Structure formats: C-alpha cells, structure tokens
Structure 1
Amino acid sequence: MSPGENLDPIPDTFILQPPVFHPMVPYVTTIFGGLHAGKMVMLQGVVPLCARRFQVDFQCGCSLCPRPDIAIHFNPRFHTTKPHVICNTLYYGQWQTEARWPGLDLQKGASFLIVFLFENEEMKVSINGKHFLHYRYRLPLSRVDTLGIYGDILVKAVGFLNINPFMEGSKEYPVGHPFLLYSHRLEVPCSRALPQGLWPGQVIIVRGLILQEPKDFTLSLRDETAHVPVTLRVSFADKTLAWVSPWGRKKLISAPFLFYPQRFFEVLLLCQEGGLKLALNGQRLGATSLDQQALERLRELRISGSVQLYCVHY
C-alpha cells in the first residue's frame, strides 16, 4: 500500500483480528469489534509443571482502577486434590455465585487447545477437541471488549475467529484448527495433496496475513492431469476477487475488498453437490459450479502469492 492510500470502508463483520503468538503473561488486549454470538476465541499453550492456577477473563474494559466488570471469568485450578475449573462474573467489584466443573482435562507440563464459543445465551468451552462446559451470561455479551490472560500459563497463540458459516443449524460442536501447529512450517507457494479428491460436506480452510507489499494471491485446485478447473484469484491492482475459469475468463465476486497489507484473512471453501461455496472472514459470498465427478478428480490444493500462511486445513 502506497503512502497516503486509504483503506476502503469495510463492514465490521468482515474484519478479522490477527492471531497473537507467544504473548507475555499477564496479557491484556482489545477484542476488535467486541464479542457477539458466532465468535470464537482459541487459546493454545502449555500448563507449567509448577502451575497452581490461571485465568482467562472476558472483560468490560481494561481500566486498573476502578476494576472493570468481568462478564466471564474462566479459572482452571491445579493446586487442589482434584483439579477443576471455576467460572464466575464480577459486577461492580463483587463476585457472583461460583460455578464449578470437576474433571479438568488439562495436565501439568502438557500442551492444550481451548476454544471459547460464544452463542446467544451462553459460552461453550472445549478442551483439546472435547466439549467441557457451558456458562450462561450474567452480563450482556455486547459489553465485552477486552481479553485478559493471567496466572500460571505459557501462551503459544491466541486466535479470534468466526464460526464456520456453513454449519448453520448444526448441533455439532465446532472444531478449532490451531494456528501455531502450522505457522512455522508453511512455505509459500504451498501445495497440499488431496488423495481422495473432494466430497460433499468437506471444508477447506486457509488463514493467513497479507504481506506488506502484496503483488498477487491465488488459490487453485488441480486435477490428476494438472488441469486447473478451480481458481480463486485476488487482484491487488484493481482490488477485485474473482473465480477464474480454465480458459482464463473471470467471474467477479461481489464483496468488500479485504486483502490489504498486514490484514488477516480467512478463506473457506465448502464442497457440495454441484460445486464449491465460498466464505471470506466468516461471511458467505457465493459459489462456483463444478460437477461431482470433477470434484472427485481434484488431487492438489495450491496457494501462492504475497501471504504468510498460518493454517491450511481440509
């Protein structure tokens, strides 16, 4: 982006907050756009061998004095005979009634992935891919704008994401795909094999950061003959996003242009009978047609261009 160039106005729902790697604890950060139903916060880390307790607070502000209200206080404790989690709410300096969950599946010295899923009436928490608890809101979720992490914890990564928009109405607990597991291993261009092709219901997830001086960005799916029946291309020159046919024809996708330098992005492709649906930063944007036989013949996912990749999952 050249000096003086302004970003196009983007709806808040399209803007994603970049992940944070290896923050020092205590760690406090603003949650871009606040919390709302349909948002997830992912926490990757390690429980130290000497850990007694740590806490993750979803706060209504970040002042030191007076202390802000804490809508959701998530507090694993290891110093008791039976490790457990306490959840609570701090309102006008007073803690409310504690809610306690035994059977904590966090081990000292072990890595973990915690996913906080925010729904209309309650927060759900999964630990290492398994649902652990749900906690009903005692303060409006709309008041939460700050995340605080304190205590005996080594944080590897914090991610802020939207629920997969293609899972609408599903009862399945959404799975968070870690950032850090991939962030130091993915080189660009990136190629991933699809040994069994694509099948209905499969979702391809690509997360990353646009580099400082971007030139191009392309996501393509290739078949066994190296033919490229599906290409998603970002043009930084004219700020467009388009499907490109095997014959070079472009079909523009009507959406705000989100691919600016140092901005985080998430691309989701859902395979269904008749083609692929696209979502960008948690918002559905349309589809491209492809028959089922062509989808099953796809054997390679390739990503190239001016991006740092954090996650490629399918």
Structure 2
Amino acid sequence: MGPTSLVDFILQPPVFHPVLPYMTTIFGGLTHGKMVLMQGMVFVEAERFQVDFQCGCSLMPRSDIAIHFNPRFRSRPHIICNTLQNGHWLEETKFPQLPLRRGEAFQLLFLFGQEEVQPFDASRTEYPVAHPMQLNSSKLAVPYSHPLPHGLAARDTITVRALVCPEPEGFTLSLREDPSHILLRLSTCFRSRALVWSSYPDEAAGHSGKVTTYFPFHPQRFFELLLVCAEGSFKLALNGIPLGQYDVPWLAWDLVTELRIEGDITLYSVLS
C-alpha cells in the first residue's frame, strides 16, 4: 500500500549534541514502522538514564508515558521498561541483560510495531545496525561523487541520507557509466514540485516518468532515500515508504561506475 498523505513521508532531521534533559516533538506520532536512532556515551560514574516516549509535555498533571526505557548500572545492571497511565505506573518489566557499559559509546535503535516496541543495541546481529551519520564532513561535500568500481547488480542498494537546504531549487542523483554518460537520474525540482526519474539507454534516446503524485521534500527537512536495483527495473523508497517499481529493461547495472549527487542538500551519509 502506498502513502496516503504527506505526513507518511515525514522523517525528522538528526539532532547533534543535545543538552540533557532533552525533549522534542515526534512529527506524525509513533506510527507502525517508525524508528528512532540514538547514539551516545554512558558516563563512567553513571547509575542510570532513561528514554521516555510520552503523550505530550504536561507536568501538572503529568503526561502519560507510553514507553519508559530505563537502563540501570548498579551492582546488577539491568533494564526496566514500564508505562505511566493517568499518573500511575503499570507493572514493570525487568530485563536482566544490559549490553550497555559504563564509559562506553552505544547505539540504540527503537523499532515501533503495531502493538510492541523493539530496542536493539549495536552488538545485536539479528537486526541491521544503522550507520552513524556525519556532521559537516568534507568527504560528503556537494557536488559529491561516489565511485562504484565493481558496478551494481540486482538486489544492490544505495541509501542517501541528507538535509534539504533552507531555500532549495532542486537536487539530482545520477548513476553514470563515466563522468559524461548518465544512465539513470533522479531529479527533484522545488519550483515545479516534481520528483522525476530519467534514463538514457543511448545518446539519442531517453525515457522519463514522474515518481509520485506527491512532492514529499521540504526545505530544512531531513530525508532518507533508498534505491534498490532489480533485474530490468529499480525500486525507490523515501523515509521507509515505498514509492514503487520502475522498469528500465535497457539498463545494465554492471555498467554503472559512479554515483553523483548535486544540488541544494547537505549530505549525512551515502551507503552502497
């Protein structure tokens, strides 16, 4: 099922070095499939810390807390999870295994399902660990070129995480056979509010199409774009929302040797 409104595309920008205690609004609420990534360092002398996903920010009366995640580092380290409802804590759940360590960096990923939430730490292997994003990295300056010396193949993926500039005109992602020959290009134009893909099987012909009737990009809004290679086609997803499959039977993925990104965005990570 495709997206039903613009709110389905909302992905909040990363917050770097927040001052604790830290509170922020989650745009669109915690819907099924949403993820929250947290990276930090546990103090050497830490006794505990907590992450609360709550319904508002009222102090009197206190807002309900849907999920209270509370690692404790005393003589027997453990994790407490609970829910606060109408000012009263419900029956807590205790997890005796605490993978977090005093004085060590950590990465936590909260995945929200229909009726449950699953926290994952960086040491777990059954769930793919999100890669850290970089702030103001000279290696990710735009225009950006990412070499693909071995080409691409079916099932290969490219993930781009970026922040749209305050007054954007547009940006493009292009897959190239060489610097002068573009094989596939995704173009975003803020003036016409269009996201369009174009492919060029040869110098004399080209094919293009609109990706979605929505225009899901906004100034100063963070996004994650996923491109999946398939046999004779490619698939797109934006902020975890599938945008569909697009046929390009003339495109030979093994000829792609370069990913180039240009335009009015700030890159945080490019994975392939």
Asked if 1:300 corresponds to 2:265, the answer is: no
Specify the alignment match of 2:39 in structure 1.
44
Aligned-partner residue type, residue 148 of structure 2: L
Aligned-partner residue type, residue 49 of structure 1: V
C-alpha spacing 1:102/1:201, structure 2 compared with 1 (3 Å):
farther
**What is the distance in 2 between the residues matched to 1:272 and 1:294?**
10
Specify the alignment match of 2:114 in structure 1.
120
Aligned-partner residue type, residue 75 of structure 1: N
Q: How does 1:20-39 map to 2 (within 5 A)?
A: 20-39=15-34
Aligned-partner residue type, residue 146 of structure 2: R
Specify the alignment match of 1:146 in structure 2.
none
**What is the distance in 1 between the residues matched to 2:123 and 2:193?**
38
Distance apart, 1:236 and its partner CA: 2.4
What whole-Å deviation, never above 9, does each CA across 1:167-202 have from its counterpart, x for those lacking one? xxxxx63542332xx233121111222233222322
**What is the distance in 1 between the residues matched to 2:85 and 2:96?**
25
**What is the distance in 1 between the residues matched to 2:17 and 2:151?**
36
Distance apart, 1:225 and its partner CA: 7.2
Q: Secondary structure at the match of 1:229?
A: strand
C-alpha spacing 1:96/1:260, structure 2 compared with 1 (3 Å):
closer
**What is the distance in 2 between the residues matched to 1:292 and 1:96?**
59
Aligned-partner residue type, residue 115 of structure 1: L
C-alpha spacing 1:106/1:280, structure 2 compared with 1 (3 Å):
same
**What is the distance in 2 between the residues matched to 1:293 and 1:82?**
58
Q: Secondary structure at the match of 1:303?
A: strand
Asked if 1:110 corresponds to 2:68, the answer is: no
User: 1:183, 1:311 within 8 Å by CA — same for their partners in 2?
Assistant: no
Specify the alignment match of 1:145 in structure 2.
none
**What is the distance in 2 between the residues matched to 1:86 and 1:292?**
55
Match of 1:209 among 157, 160, 163: 163
Gap runs ≥5 in structure 2: none
Specify the alignment match of 1:199 in structure 2.
153
Distance apart, 1:41 and its partner CA: 0.5
Distance apart, 1:281 and its partner CA: 2.7
Distance apart, 1:277 and its partner CA: 0.5
Q: How does 1:212-223 map to 2 (within 5 A)?
A: 212-223=166-177
**What is the distance in 1 between the residues matched to 2:143 and 2:123?**
30
**What is the distance in 1 between the residues matched to 2:231 and 2:168?**
34
> Could you tell me the TM-score, scaled by structure 2's length?
0.88
Distance apart, 1:227 and its partner CA: 2.5
Aligned-partner residue type, residue 199 of structure 1: A
Match of 1:95 among 84, 89, 92: 89
Specify the alignment match of 1:67 in structure 2.
62
**What is the distance in 1 between the residues matched to 2:154 and 2:49?**
41
Distance apart, 1:274 and its partner CA: 1.6
What whole-Å deviation, never above 9, does each CA across 1:147-181 have from its counterpart, x for those lacking one? xxxxxxxxxxxxxxxxxxxxxxxxx63542332xx
Asked if 1:82 corresponds to 2:40, the answer is: no
User: 2:199, 2:248 within 8 Å by CA — same for their partners in 1?
Assistant: no
Q: How does 1:134-213 map to 2 (within 5 A)?
A: 173-179=127-133, 182-185=134-137, 186-213=140-167
Aligned-partner residue type, residue 126 of structure 1: F
> Could you tell me the TM-score, scaled by structure 1's length?
0.77
**What is the distance in 2 between the residues matched to 1:20 and 1:228?**
35
C-alpha spacing 1:258/1:129, structure 2 compared with 1 (3 Å):
farther
User: 1:189, 1:304 within 8 Å by CA — same for their partners in 2?
Assistant: yes
Distance apart, 1:254 and its partner CA: 2.6
Aligned-partner residue type, residue 198 of structure 1: L
Gap runs ≥5 in structure 1: 1-9, 132-171
**What is the distance in 2 between the residues matched to 1:310 and 1:90?**
36
Aligned-partner residue type, residue 276 of structure 1: F
Match of 1:283 among 223, 241, 246: 241
C-alpha spacing 1:49/1:292, structure 2 compared with 1 (3 Å):
farther
User: 2:147, 2:257 within 8 Å by CA — same for their partners in 1?
Assistant: yes
User: 2:183, 2:251 within 8 Å by CA — same for their partners in 1?
Assistant: no
Specify the alignment match of 2:209 in structure 1.
251
Give the aligned CA root-mean-square deviation in angstroms: 2.2
Aligned-partner residue type, residue 184 of structure 1: N
Greater shift in the superposed pair: 24-33 or 120-129: 120-129
Aligned-partner residue type, residue 285 of structure 1: L
